């Protein structure tokens, strides 16, 4: 059942996403074969995404401004 390989291509990535997506609503029980498979696939997906879709850290000032906007505060506050 664990026939899992590294995610090397976009097709591998899409297949892994398609397998785990339905499980996010009802995650398998940890420690079960299904739970172990889910954990391994999610780890592989996260690694692939980190390598292929990196997210740059925000500018600190822009992050503060964004947070203030979310809270409805101004510089005077």
Report pLDDT digits (tens) over 20-75. 999 999 999 999 999 999 999 999 999 999 999 999 988 999 999 999 999 999 88
Domain count along the chain: 1
Domain annotation covers residue 39: yes
User: Using H for helix, E for strand and C for coil, what is the string for 44-77?
Assistant: HHHHHHHHHCCCCCCCHHHHHHHHHHHHCCCCCC
pLDDT the model gives residue 76: 82
For residue 22, give its domain range. 10-71
Domain annotation covers residue 21: yes
pTM score? 0.72
């Amino acid at each position: 059942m664990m026939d899992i390989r590294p995610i090397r291509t976009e097709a591998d990535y899409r297949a892994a996403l398609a397998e785990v997506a339905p499980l996010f609503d009802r995650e398998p029980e940890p420690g079960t074969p299904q739970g172990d498979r889910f954990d391994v696939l999610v780890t592989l997906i996260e690694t692939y995404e980190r390598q292929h879709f990196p997210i740059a850290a925000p500018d600190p000032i822009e992050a503060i401004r964004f947070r203030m906007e979310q809270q409805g505060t101004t510089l005077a506050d």
